């Protein structure tokens, strides 16, 4: 097994970051900002400054110039059709970045339709690769069954019972019952179990179909991609160096080296360079030219059968050919649009992807993005604030703004209502929003970062969670164990925080696998 050396250094920018003078400059600037905030801030200055210092110590940032390839860079999307908006898309860069969408046949079709009307709208049928667990056609796009050509060893149910789900799905499609009127027929099929087997053959098929592309961008049906930022960023890398990047998650433990490995979470998307693809797919051959080792999908079958997720196996397979993960959180973001925790580690960073984006948000955000681009500055998280304005208005009924970067008041605080939850939040310097879970729950959640959240009706807890509101409330009187949601934001504190953090330039981040979420 090949041992992984020090993480590869794929870009000119990353090499710049390793220079001592640059590190000294960053440290000096951080200290100056800290002193300034302590001396000038009247409200909780010390806590704010210490928070910023912690941010600077863990989030290494750098600045470089980028230019948008969209022409025109910005247009008013209000009266434009999808086709008219796509006229601005830099089609020549499709030869530089190959998009590969991974989906499942049982996937909510609304997600796929939304993607074809937004994130993937500007890619023609010959530009986009869509990999699934059953061949199909959606609009003009041919869907490739990534599992169709797997070796016979996958079908040995004594060693791999998961694959029964794929076999059932194919049988039902062939006998005409897969899309019949009886929905219970497909109930035994677990699409999630099938999903993990698609990663490795998907990569192999992408290379066979579209070989030698500089970069391959793999995304899922709920991944939102900011293509302008992706094009800007990837053009700073050498595609013939082994680059594997995404949002880092802890993976398998390397017993030989005594360390935990890392993989790119598939939901926010991940990128493999041409160099990384070649390293992963390379097979040793003998003197007679015959391969002496199996393809990657066969090589890692035993691990796939025991592992929960295909993206973790992907990371382990790359690790074993000396390709380590370049973690680029928060640019690759595991949060959905409504769940972004706006805070120092996000605010001035460029955003490449979002995860778990709803179909409506996907289309709306894509159209909005066309009117926000700037020639020499990528779209930042601070720009995304203007899409939804979290914290305006300051209170929302039947609304859940989340439970992220949070804490609870101590029992001695006697917080027993939305109003007392708000009062406690306002007493805490770091609290910018609160969430009251009423009914029988009576829980106050305080948060240090700002999230938009989403509508959430009253619901039963815990045994009847998911019941309809009319089953819970009758003449405005609750029945049984129930919880309702009400959210609030400290508007003046949020306004001040935003005013103190105007982004004059983009804060690109260096690669890291310890900087997550």
Query: Can you tell me whether residue 351 is helix, strand or coil?
Result: coil
- pLDDT score for 223: 98
pLDDT band of 50, cuts 50, 70, 90: very low
- Work out the pLDDT band at 290, boundaries 50, 70, 90: confident
At 356, is the secondary structure helix, strand, or coil? coil
Predicted pLDDT of residue 472: 52
> Which pLDDT does position 457 carry in this prediction?
95
Q: State how far the alpha carbon of 63 is from the alpha carbons of 233, 376, 505, 506, in Å.
A: 12, 12, 7, 6
Q: What is the pLDDT of residues 366-375, one digit of tens each?
A: 999 999 999 9
357 within 8 A of 336, measured Cβ to Cβ:
yes
User: pLDDT value at position 305?
Assistant: 84
- Of the options 3.40.50, 1.10.3470, 3.50.4, 3.10.450, the CATH number for the domain spanning 394-462+480-516: 3.50.4
Give the integer Cα–Cα distance in Å for 207 and 194.
22
Residue 51 has pLDDT above 50, yes or no: no
Label residues 202-218 b or e (16+ Cβ within 10 Å = b): bbbbbbeebeebbbbbb
Question: Please, where in the chain does CATH 3.90.550 lie?
Answer: 61-333
Contact 261, 252 (CB under 8 A): yes
Residues of the chain with CATH 3.50.4: 394-462+480-516
Residue 38 has pLDDT above 80, yes or no: no
What pLDDT score does 363 carry?
97
Each residue's pLDDT tens digit, 416-442: 999 999 999 999 999 999 999 999 899
The predicted pLDDT at position 476 comes to 54
Q: How confident is the model at residue 463 (pLDDT cuts 50, 70, 90)?
A: low
For domain 61-333, the CATH class is alpha beta
Reduced to 3 states, what is the DSSP secondary structure of residue 411? Answer: helix
Does residue 87 contact residue 114 with C-beta atoms inside 8 Å?
no
* Residues composing the chain: 517
Over 70: is that where the pLDDT of 29 sits?
Answer: no
Q: Which residue has the higher pLDDT, 242 or 158?
A: 242
Mean per-residue pLDDT for 496-503?
94
- Over residues 122-140, the pLDDT tens digits come to 999 999 999 999 999 999 9
Q: At what angle are helices 199-209 and 274-281 packed, to 10 degrees?
A: 120
Average pLDDT over residues 433-458: 95
Percent of the chain at pLDDT exceeding 70: 84
DSSP of 229-290: HHHHHHTTB-TTS--EEE-EEEEEEETTTTEEEEEE-STT-EEEEHHHHHHHH---B-TTS-
What average pLDDT does the segment 480-494 reach? Answer: 93
Band (285; pLDDT cuts 50, 70, 90): confident
Residue 511: the pLDDT is 94
182 against 12, higher pLDDT: 182
pTM given for the model: 0.85
The answer on pLDDT for 239 being more than 80 is yes
What average pLDDT score do residues 55-59 get?
45
What's the pLDDT at 30? 42
What pLDDT is attached to residue 330? 95
CA-based nearest residue to 257, from 4, 8, 513: 4
Region class of 475: left (phi > 0), else alpha (psi between -120 and 50), else beta: left
Q: Could you count the other beta carbons within 10 Å of the beta carbon of residue 316?
A: 18
Predicted local confidence at residue 390, as pLDDT? 94
According to the model, what pLDDT value does residue 260 have? 94
Q: Say how far apart CA 434 and CA 394 lie, in whole Å.
A: 10
Res 37: pLDDT: 37
- The Cα–Cα gap between 164 and 443 comes to 44
72 upstream amide cis, omega within 30 of 0: yes
408 to 123, 264, 360, 425, 443: CA distances (angstroms): 47, 32, 33, 10, 8
193 pLDDT band, cuts 50/70/90, is: confident
Report the DSSP beta bridge partners of residue 132: 145
Beta-carbon contacts of 106 under 8 Å, excluding residues fewer than 6 positions away, are 169, 186, 189, 191
Give the mean pLDDT of the chain. 86
Q: What is the pLDDT of residues 148-168, one digit of tens each?
A: 999 888 888 888 888 889 998
- pLDDT per position as a tens digit, 337-350: 999 999 999 999 99
Region 481-487: mean pLDDT is: 93
pLDDT of residue 420: 97
ω before 462 within 30° of 0 (cis)?
Answer: yes
357-410 residue pLDDT tens? 999 999 999 999 999 999 999 999 999 999 999 999 999 999 999 899 999 999
Looking at residue 11, what is its pLDDT?
46
The pLDDT value recorded for residue 56 is 34
pLDDT band at 52 (very low <50, low <70, confident <90, very high): very low
Distance separating alpha carbons of residues 37 and 70, to the nearest angstrom: 39
Predicted local confidence at residue 469, as pLDDT: 54
Q: Which residue has the higher pLDDT, 250 or 26?
A: 250
Residue with tokens 């914290």: 391
Strands 454-455 and 433-437: unpaired
Tokens 């009758």, located at residue: 474
CA distance 300 to 317: 8
SS3 445: strand
> What is the average pLDDT across 96-119?
95
Whether the pLDDT of residue 293 is over 90: the answer is no
CA dist., res. 384 & res. 373, Å (int)? 12
Grouping H, G, I as helix, E, B as strand and the rest as coil, residue 380 is strand
Tens digits of residue pLDDT in 217-237: 999 999 999 999 999 999 999
């Amino acid at each position: 097994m090949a041992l992984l050396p020090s993480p590869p250094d794929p870009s000119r920018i990353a090499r710049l970051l390793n220079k001592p003078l640059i590190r000294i400059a960053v440290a000096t600037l951080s200290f100056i900002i800290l002193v300034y905030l302590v001396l000038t801030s009247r409200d909780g200055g010390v806590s704010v400054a210490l928070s910023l210092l912690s941010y600077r110590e863990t989030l290494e940032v750098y600045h470089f110039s980028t230019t948008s390839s969209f022409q025109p860079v910005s247009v008013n999307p209000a009266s434009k059709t999808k086709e008219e908006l796509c006229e601005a898309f830099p089609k020549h860069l499709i030869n530089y970045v190959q998009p590969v969408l991974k989906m499942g046949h049982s996937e909510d079709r609304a997600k796929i339709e939304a993607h074809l009307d937004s994130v993937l709208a500007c890619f023609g049928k010959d530009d986009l690769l869509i990999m699934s667990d059953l061949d199909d056609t959606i609009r003009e796009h041919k869907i490739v069954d990534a599992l169709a050509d797997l070796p016979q060893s996958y079908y040995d149910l004594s060693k791999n019972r998961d694959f029964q789900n794929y076999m059932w799905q194919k049988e039902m499609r062939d006998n005409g019952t897969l899309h019949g009127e009886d929905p219970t027929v497909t109930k035994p099929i677990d699409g999630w179990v099938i999903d993990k087997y698609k990663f490795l053959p998907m990569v192999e098929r992408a290379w066979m179909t579209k070989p030698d592309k500089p970069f391959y961008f793999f995304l899922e049906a709920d991944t939102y991609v900011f293509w302008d930022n992706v094009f800007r960023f990837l053009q700073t890398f050498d595609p013939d160096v082994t680059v594997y990047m995404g949002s880092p998650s802890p993976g398998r433990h390397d017993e030989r080296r005594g360390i935990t490995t890392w993989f790119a979470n598939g939901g926010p998307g991940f990128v493999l360079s041409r160099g990384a693809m070649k390293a992963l797919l390379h097979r040793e051959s003998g003197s007679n030219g015959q391969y002496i080792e199996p393809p990657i999908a066969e090589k890692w079958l035993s691990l796939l059968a025991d592992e929960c997720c295909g993206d973790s196996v992907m990371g382990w397979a790359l690790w074993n050919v000396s390709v380590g993960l370049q973690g680029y959180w928060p640019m690759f973001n595991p949060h959905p649009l409504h769940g972004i925790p706006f805070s120092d580690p996000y605010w001035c960073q460029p955003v490449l992807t979002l995860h778990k984006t709803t179909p409506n948000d996907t289309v709306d955000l894509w159209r909005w993005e066309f009117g926000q681009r700037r020639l020499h500055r990528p779209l930042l998280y601070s720009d995304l604030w203007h899409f939804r304005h979290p914290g305006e208005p300051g209170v929302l009924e039947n609304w859940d703004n989340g439970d992220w970067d949070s804490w609870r008041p101590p029992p001695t605080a006697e917080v027993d209502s939305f109003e007392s939850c708000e009062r406690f939040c306002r007493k805490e310097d770091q609290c910018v929003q609160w969430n009251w879970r009423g009914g029988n729950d009576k829980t106050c959640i305080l948060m240090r970062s700002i999230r938009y959240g989403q509508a959430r009706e009253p619901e039963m807890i815990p045994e009847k969670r998911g019941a309809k509101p009319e089953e819970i409330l009758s003449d405005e009187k609750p029945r049984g164990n129930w919880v309702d949601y009400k959210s609030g934001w400290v508007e003046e504190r949020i306004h001040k925080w935003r005013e103190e953090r105007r982004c004059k330039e983009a804060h690109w981040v260096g690669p890291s696998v310890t900087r997550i979420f």
